[in-house]
């Protein structure tokens, strides 16, 4: 590789958080030369490109947390970004539906959180209002969350990278280049990749499903471990698509770390149903039988994984059964839309979520960003990180300046 000089910053990972950081960093420092590295052929090819495409409101998250603050701020900024740059999106609103009286106190707590987090266009709705918004949905009470929407996250990711490069043509995006190791010497970092070496003054890691491995390889002390959970989706067939207008969510069970199976109209007009949540034997595996010996060994020799399994045994078994049974998946979907039939749904795609898991079996709930010298690691960025990406990117830049990783000018 020819000598390219020293990059001001190398960003590792071309998902939407990495691209947003690239964009925010370049906008604040137009003269700095930045390099974005992505190991896949395309940007946004893992979590970003396989998520549900929802612009989350910020209603579920603990008031004052990074998730709550960054999701609300990031959502507003993302919608403005999409409008300005022609990214396919629709702020169509969603309903959260209670189907059982025991869910009503949980629904009220979600409503209270939404108010505390400053969620706009939020109100309680009756069974009659649910039917008016979604005629095929049945519930006893619900919440209308008007600021929720849908978006093409892949398109947004590519646009952020394009805009950053337009600010400074000397900056670059390189795909199909995997980061293998980093070394620090004499105030500079050397990033070794599958295609060569790059020198940089600082490095920002936005590695998603590989974030813990990248951090450990960089010498960071990370007690927790990333464990992957695959989410399988079904799609409504053309004959069933009219039964969902926009977005329909159940009331989540706080005992479990996921929102439950829901309905999402995508920007292309299709409607997805899901996802479930099952342990995956391959961090970047999207098929039910995908397997990686390394990923499986690391997950199943980690005590936190087993503690999580034992705490959620009945839930986990039910999720696995549903993953391999269309009939059981349909039964869950019919809690919200009773008229759905087997002919209304067909298997769709899948995604994998990176969850940072503690040794006690508890998921790290909030976003986590840490500095190690002139390196910054995004260690935990689960949902709603895609919605919050621009706010997270700004937070990373602020941290870099505040901690002296980057100097103004």
Alpha carbon distance 328, 314 (integer Å)? 15
Does the structure show a pLDDT above 60 at 271? Answer: yes
Give the pLDDT score at 315: 78
Segment 290-307 mean pLDDT: 96
* Domain 225-245+253-363, second-level architecture: 2-Layer Sandwich (3.30)
> Cα separations (Å) of 309 from 209, 275, 301, 313, 316?
20, 19, 13, 5, 7
Radius of gyration of the chain (CA): 21
Segment 258-283 mean pLDDT: 92
When pLDDT is cut at 50, 70 and 90, the band that residue 1 belongs to is: very low
Segment 120-137 mean pLDDT: 98
Give the pLDDT score at 256: 72
Q: What digits encode the pLDDT tens for the residues 350-381?
A: 999 999 999 999 999 899 999 999 999 999 99
Cβ-Cβ contacts under 8 Å for 291 (sequence gap 6 or more): 281, 282, 285
Q: What digits encode the pLDDT tens for the residues 334-358?
A: 999 999 999 999 999 999 999 999 9
Q: Is 267 exposed, middle or buried (0-12, 13-18, 19+ CB in 10 A)?
A: middle
Report domain extents, the chain: 6-48+154-223+366-402, 94-146, 225-245+253-363
Alpha carbon distance 88, 69 (integer Å)? 25
Nearest to 56 by CA among 79, 27, 29: 79
Q: Judge whether 248 and 94 are in contact, CB under 8 Å.
A: yes
Q: Between helices 313-323 and 303-311, what is the axis angle to 10°?
A: 90
Q: What digits encode the pLDDT tens for the residues 168-218?
A: 999 999 999 999 999 998 889 999 999 999 999 999 999 999 999 999 999
Report the number of secondary-structure helices (H) and strands (E) in the chain: 12, 20
> Cα separations (Å) of 266 from 169, 236, 249?
34, 11, 14
Give the pLDDT score at 350: 95
Mean pLDDT of the chain: 95
CATH number assigned to the domain covering 6-48+154-223+366-402: 3.50.50.60
Segment 24-51 mean pLDDT: 97
Does the structure show a pLDDT above 50 at 2? Answer: no
Longest dimension (CA), the chain: 68
When pLDDT is cut at 50, 70 and 90, the band that residue 255 belongs to is: confident
Segment 89-116 mean pLDDT: 97
Percentage of residues of the chain with pLDDT beyond 90: 90
Segment 227-251 mean pLDDT: 96
Cα 50 to its chain centre, rounded Å, is 9
Give the pLDDT score at 199: 97
């Amino acid at each position: 590789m020819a000598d390219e000089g020293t990059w001001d910053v190398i960003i590792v990972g071309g998902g939407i958080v990495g691209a947003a950081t690239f964009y925010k960093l370049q906008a604040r420092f137009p003269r700095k030369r930045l390099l974005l590295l992505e190991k896949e052929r395309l940007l946004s090819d893992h979590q970003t490109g396989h998520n549900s495409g929802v612009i989350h409101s910020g209603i579920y998250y603990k008031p004052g947390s990074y998730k709550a603050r960054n999701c609300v701020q990031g959502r507003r900024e993302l919608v403005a970004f999409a409008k300005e740059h022609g990214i396919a999106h629709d702020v169509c609103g969603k309903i959260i539906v209670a189907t059982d009286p025991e869910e009503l106190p949980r629904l009220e707590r979600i409503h209270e959180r939404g108010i505390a987090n400053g969620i706009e266009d939020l109100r309680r709705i009756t069974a009659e209002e649910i039917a008016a918004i979604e005629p095929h949905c049945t519930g006893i009470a619900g919440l209308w969350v008007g600021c929720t929407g849908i978006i093409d996250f892949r398109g947004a990711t590519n646009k952020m990278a394009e805009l950053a490069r337009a600010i400074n043509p000397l900056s670059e995006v390189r795909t199909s280049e995997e980061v293998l190791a980093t070394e620090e010497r004499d105030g500079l970092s050397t990033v070794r990749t599958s295609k060569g070496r790059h020198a940089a003054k600082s490095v920002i890691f936005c590695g998603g499903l590989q974030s813990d491995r990248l951090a450990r390889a960089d010498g960071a002390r990370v007690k927790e471990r990333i464990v992957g959970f695959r989410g399988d989706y079904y799609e409504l067939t053309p004959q069933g698509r009219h039964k969902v207008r926009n977005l329909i969510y159940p009331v989540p069970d706080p005992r479990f770390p996921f929102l439950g199976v829901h309905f999402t109209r995508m920007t292309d007009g299709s409607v997805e149903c899901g996802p479930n949540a099952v342990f995956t034997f391959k961090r970047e595996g999207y098929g039910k039988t995908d397997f990686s010996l390394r990923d499986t060994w690391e997950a199943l020799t980690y005590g936190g994984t087993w503690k999580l399994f034992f705490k959620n045994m009945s839930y986990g078994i039910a999720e696995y059964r549903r993953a391999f049974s269309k009939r059981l998946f349909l039964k869950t979907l019919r809690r919200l839309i009773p008229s759905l039939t087997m002919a209304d749904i067909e298997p769709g795609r899948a995604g994998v979520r990176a969850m940072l898991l503690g040794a006690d079996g508890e998921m790290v709930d909030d976003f986590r960003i840490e500095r190690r010298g002139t390196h910054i690691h995004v260690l935990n960025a689960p949902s709603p990180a895609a919605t919050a990406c621009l706010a997270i990117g700004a937070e990373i830049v602020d941290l870099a300046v505040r901690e002296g990783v980057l100097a103004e000018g």
